[in-house]
Chains A and B, each alone.
Chain A
Amino acid sequence: DAMVIQNPRYQVTQFGKPVTLSCSQTLNHNVMYWYQQKSSQAPKLLFHYYDKDFNNEADTPDNFQSRRPNTSFCFLDIRSPGLGDAAMYLCATSGDPPNTEAFFGQGTRLTVV
């Protein structure tokens, strides 16, 4: 059974139109991560939550926001998508470090038209 679920798997949005990607987990993990992965590149960490504490990466554009209303759900909001935001977006969870692996969802592939 899938433990980290991302919806939708594929999302097409218009240039400048806000879009929200969702992630849910059944693992009750404290930490949730959002990554952006462009073609032939490594996943790039955008931000993470430890419980309700939000931790932004210094180089994450302001255009990217996140919400975590409860332990199970986390959302990635892109306020004004540009063509350069087309990518795979990956959600991951992790329990208390240092000994737990990070579990990844299947990703949402975002296309901006």
Chain B
Amino acid sequence: SQQGEEDPQALSIQEGENATMNCSYKTSINNLQWYRQNSGRGLVHLILIRSNEREKHSGRLRVTLDTSKKSSSLLITASRAADTASYFCATLNTGNQFYFGTGTSLTVIP
């Protein structure tokens, strides 16, 4: 399969808690990107981390990358009900192929 794996598949938390999603992929990459998608809507780009970076922050988002383990994590701190969405990681490999992981469905309960 071209897709990487994400876990958990679904995550339900209370507002104010932190949410962590994990992504594993299969090949060497140039970069890894995280996207959010609300139900029935388009993809919203969240953050890009390059293969030579280990950690990146953007507002309430923190992304880590471990290329030796071919894995990444997305942490959303102090979650809000508006963060409810599906989250996907996507990897750009050296052949310009851009593959998505299987996604995590996040529900934040007010």
Contacts and interface: CB of A to CB of B under 8 A. Distances in A.
**Which of A33, A42, A106 counts the most B-chain CB atoms under 10 A from its CB?**
A42
B contact face: mostly helix, strand, loop, or mixed: strand
A33 B97 CA distance: 9
Contact of B100 (A42, A48, A50): A42
A57 B2 CA distance: 9
Interface residues of B, number: 24
Contacts of B109: none
Q: How big is the A interface, by class?
A: 20 to 34
Interface string B1-42: 011000000000000000000000000001101010000001
Interface string B32-55: 010100000011010010110000
A46 to B, nearest CB: 10
Interface of B: 2-3, 30-31, 33, 35, 42-43, 45, 48, 50-51, 88, 90, 92, 95-103
Given A48-B97, A99-B48, 20 more contacts: A31-B96, A42-B100, A42-B102, A44-B3, A44-B100, A45-B98, A45-B99, A50-B96, A59-B2, A90-B42, A94-B92, A98-B31, A98-B92, A101-B33, A101-B48, A102-B33, A102-B90, A104-B35, A104-B42, A105-B42
